[in-house]
Structure formats: structure tokens, C-alpha cells
Amino acid sequence: MAEPPPPGPVPAQRHASQPTALRIEAAGFGYRGTTVLWDVELTVGEGRTLALVGPNGAGKSTLIKSVTGLADLVTGSVTVLGRALPKARGLAAYVPQAETLDPDFPVSAADVVLMGRYRRIGWWRPTGRADRDAALAALDRVGLADRASTRFGLLSGGQRQRVLVARAIAAEARLLLLDEPLNGVDATSQERILTALGELTATGTAVVISTHDLAVAARIADQVCVLNGRQWAAGTPGEVLTPEVLREAYGNHAVDLPDGRTMLVET
């Protein structure tokens, strides 16, 4: 196992005032016993939104995947809705980064959303009226109720991403994990997804979203966590999205503009 990088410049913030949906303590995450992300310390209350930001390879996906069991918790602890990993796997709904669902597979948008119900009802049981209603309501949330019977593969990329968000909504989990759900989606789809997330948090669902878009993080998150191999900073957008923190965490990817702002450059 590699040595951990030195401690970060900004201490983690704890948000313990709300009931806790996700608690990560002294955690290191990785694959097959090798840690790629160190020193994570976060608490997400119910109805709160945490944005994970950081350059390519920072560990954003790894953190999210570890909550679902697709990556490993190597050290420390992760608790979802009061239950610790690995038992907590499956308590959160997950929207993966690059969808592996074959667009040529002959399923409708509603069929894809119904998959979100399987964990509730058991995949071997037939879906019932309540499940179909929940799937349609979730599609409505993302503005695609009228496309329920459209073949998934015939939808645009942004619409497909909205269907996948609807699938996670239909799971009715109290914690939603979204791995860069806005990557490459059109402006309409982006707004629909962000509006749907706002509606969910208003009803107490906690949201963890990774994004490269700092403006989105500033807009929707109560708490932003900057990652780059370890947790560099966590706090309110105002505390964390500062030129100083971004320059520290992003290194050469951060460029200071003459007007005082910091621009991020992906290489």
C-alpha cells in the first residue's frame, strides 16, 4: 500500500445537526486493497446535498462507488442511514457515470425506470400497478412522462441520462448517489435533473453528486468536498470554492484569471 499524502490545508467540516444519511469517518477508498483516496471525513444530513469536485482521477467516482460496493472501503468506516458498510450496500440509489445499458437493448424508458423498483420488490417478483405508477411518476419528475413507451435507445443522450435519474428516483432511496450525471447532457436535461434533485432534497432525500462544474456545485450543494487523492477541503461552497483551495487541490489545472477568479483546465 502506498504512503498517504501529507495532511490537507483545510480541515473537514462536520454537519451533524440534521439526521444523518451518510457518515464517512477516517476513510480510505480503493481497489483490491490499494488505496487511491485518503483521509475522507464527511457527514451528509437528510435533505442535504454534497457535491464532490476535483480533477480527473481525483477519486470522486471511487468514493461514490464504495458506497454501492463497486469500490472498496480500505480503512475507516462508512455508515448509510445508520447502517455500516458492507451491510449498507444497496441502501442508496446510484446513477453511474457512463451507463453500461446497451442502447440497442429493446426496452422502453418505463422499463428502464422500473428496474429501479427491483430492490424494493425483489427482482424475481413481477412488478405491480404501484411500481408502474412509481415509474411513471419518476419519469414525470424528469419531464419525460410522454416518452414512457419510447425505446430507450431512441432517446437523446440527455434524455437517457434523465431516464437513469428517474430509475434512481423510482427506487425511493433516502440517499441518492450520482456520478457526474450532467456530463455531456443538453441544457434542458441539465435543468430537469437539477430541478428533480431539488425536489427530492425538499422531501428529505440526501444527494451526493460528483461534478466537474463548480458553478453547479455552488448552486445546488450545501456542502462541497474537494478531492484529489485525498480530501483537500470540505465546507460550504463559499468556504471551499476559493482560488486558494482550488489552486492547492487542482495544481496546474487551476489558472488564475486577471479578474481574480480561478479557472479550471482539464488536460
Ligand X SMILES: Nc1ncnc2c1ncn2[C@@H]1O[C@H](COP(=O)(O)OP(=O)(O)OP(=O)(O)O)[C@@H](O)[C@H]1O
Q: Enumerate binding residues for ligand X (CB under 6 A).
A: 31, 36, 54, 56-62
Least distance CB 141 / ligand X (angstroms): 26
List, in order, residues 6 or more apart from 136 with CB less than 8 Å away: 110, 145, 148
Instruction: Indicate the angle between helix axes 157-170 and 187-202, nearest 10 degrees.
Output: 10
Least distance CB 60 / ligand X (angstroms): 4
**C-alpha distance from residue 57 to each of 36, 81, 87, 229 (Å):** 9, 28, 27, 8
Give 30 or 47: the residue with its C-beta nearer to ligand X.
30
Give 32 or 129: the residue with its C-beta nearer to ligand X.
32
43 vs 89: CA distance, rounded Å? 17
Least distance CB 77 / ligand X (angstroms): 19
Beta bridge partners of 225: 52, 234
Is 51:239 a contact under the CB 8 Å cutoff?
Answer: no
Give 18 or 97: the residue with its C-beta nearer to ligand X.
97
Give 56 or 195: the residue with its C-beta nearer to ligand X.
56
Least distance CB 153 / ligand X (angstroms): 24
Give 60 or 253: the residue with its C-beta nearer to ligand X.
60
Least distance CB 49 / ligand X (angstroms): 18
